[in-house]
Structure 1
Amino acid sequence: MYLAKRDNGEDRWEAQLRKGALEMAILATLWQSKAYGLEIIRTLEERSQLVLAEGTIYPILSRLKEDAFLTSEWVEADAGHPRKYYALTKAGRERLQKMAEAWVDFSRNLSRLVAPVLSKKELPQ
């Protein structure tokens, strides 16, 4: 699980890493279809183990909408209360594609750098 009590430097570092990836993760949940806020939260938790509070996701959704990467519409639900569904715009799809490509390049390069640490090989002195 990615939620951690932020009481030391390691936990803060992990929180910052997670925060930096949230925008891309939220956009990625909307790649195939529109979804409402709680549905996005559940998808993130199920597919990536990112556990988010509603208070975290809605400001990001609002900013993405303001930046024209998302649209939203209210839809009546079976339960009787309307839900706000979010969908990617063309600009949002383009943004996500660029972000995903940058993420893959970044993670590939960083993985090479930390490979000796993970394999516990002794580094030359």
Structure 2
Amino acid sequence: MNAQYKKGVLELCVLSKLVEADRYGYELTEAISKQMVISTGTLYLILKRLKDDAYVETYLVESAGGPARKYYHLTEKGRTYQAAQKKEWLDFIEVVQDIIE
């Protein structure tokens, strides 16, 4: 997949996975990696930015097999942002589709 295409849409992919359910970082990486290559470092930079902008919040859950896991939860502001970004993306790909056909 073209890196430039992916770069512009990774944040929306992360937000969309969090719409489905709260997840911890590695779990998010695994879920997205099933369909596109993403590095853990890139994912955590996106999560930090989303947290700084109050689109996600975190909480810890004890793990039986190791240290507590930090889960990411989409805030209402984050849900609104994800919906807006999704609409903008779908509008964009519709325009591109019209141009390239």
TM-score (normalised: structure 2): 0.94
Give me the TM-score of the superposition, normalised by structure 1.
0.77
2:94 to 104, 108, 113: 108
Q: Any unmatched runs of 5+ in structure 1? A: 3-13, 116-125
Count of matched residue positions in the alignment of Structure 1 and Structure 2: 101
Superposition deviation, residue 29 in structure 1: 0.5
Does residue 92 in structure 1 map to residue 82 in structure 2? Answer: no
Give the one of 1, 5, 12 matched to 1:24. 12
The 4+ residue runs of structure 1 with deviation greater than 6 A are none
CA distance in 1, matches of 2:45, 2:25: 11
Distance 1:15 1:45 in 2: 14
Partner of residue 74, structure 1: 60
Greater Cα shift, 31-40 or 73-82: 73-82
Partners of 2:36 and 2:64 in 1: CA distance: 28
Superposition CA RMSD, Å: 1.0
Q: Distance in 1 between matches of 2:100 and 2:63?
A: 47
Amino acid at match of 1:109: V
Matched to 1:15, the amino acid is A
1:54-85 Cα deviation digits (max 9, x unpaired): 11111110110000000001111121211110
Larger-Rg structure = 1
Percent sequence identity over aligned pairs: 37
1:43 paired residue number: 31
3-state secondary structure, aligned to 1:73? strand
Aligned to 1:52: 38
Higher RCO structure (Cα 8 Å, ≥6 apart)? 2
The DSSP-based 3-state class of the residue aligned with 2:59 is strand
